[in-house]
Amino acid sequence: MRLDKFLCDCGYGTRSQVKQLVKKGRVTVNGAPCRQADLKIDEKNDRISVDGNECGYSQFVYYMFHKPAGCVCAVKDNVSRTVMEYLEKEDVKKDLFPVGRLDKDTEGLLLLTNDGALSHKLLSPKKHVPKTYYVKSKKALSKEDVKQLETGVDIGDEKKTLPASVEVLGQREIFLTISEGRFHQIKRMLFSVGNEVVYLKRVSMGGLHLDENLKPGEYRLLTGEEMERLC
């Protein structure tokens, strides 16, 4: 395995970022400084350290991606640009996929990984993982509208939605937290109270919060602290 790929898998950044680590002499291989990012290493037997800290190899990667509007949450699509096309080629690991879906016109937090077990945990209906969205509505929500959303509304499915949490930010702005993942759920919930979503952005999922420094279309590896909150 190449040294730069190994460091990426260990969570030290994207391929371009870890190349800078190597270039600056912060990486050692078996105790000796190394400035060759494409060096072939034995990830099971060689000792790789960054700033004196030995690296632990992981087969899984976890990217926080700020999904922009206009792309679809898919690995491949014959019509629209996918979220995967925003990644640099060297950062695309085998079997990488988006966890869950956001509508094409919806922005915000999306997790990209190749960890199927974690994806199942986050998406399982039995887990009720909370997801918070910033919502701009066409009209102001009344107190009764908010009460209905928090109690559960009929969106045309067999069952009403589970109780949601609403934080009113302004006349037409709210944070809406749900613990389900039904098709177009937020839009259908607003429609059920006679309103309409004009802008939608997911800001958190479970214990993971969208990094405000990430611009739409940008991504980065999760930190150790974020992984602990997510798992």
Per-residue pLDDT tens listing for the chain (231 residues): 899 988 987 878 888 889 999 999 999 999 999 999 999 999 888 999 999 999 877 778 899 999 999 999 999 999 999 999 999 887 776 789 999 999 999 999 999 999 999 999 999 989 999 999 999 999 999 999 999 999 999 999 999 999 999 999 999 999 999 999 999 999 999 999 999 999 999 999 999 999 999 999 999 989 889 988 887
Residue 103 appears among annotated catalytic residues? yes
Q: Is the pTM of this model over 0.85?
A: no
Question: Residue 98: enclosing H or E segment and its boundaries?
Answer: strand 97-98
Active-site pick, 103, 145, 154, 211: 103
Query: Residue by residue, what is the 3-state secondary structure of 23-83?
Result: HCCCEEECCEECCCCCCECCCCCCCEEECCEECCCCCCCEEEEEECCCCECCCCCCCCCEH
Q: What is the pLDDT of residue 29?
A: 95
Residues linked to residue 66 through DSSP beta bridges, in sequence order: 109
Measured distance CA(172)–CA(106) in Å, rounded? 17
Joined tokens for residue 17: 């970022």
Q: What is the pLDDT of residue 56?
A: 77
Q: What is the pLDDT of residue 67?
A: 98
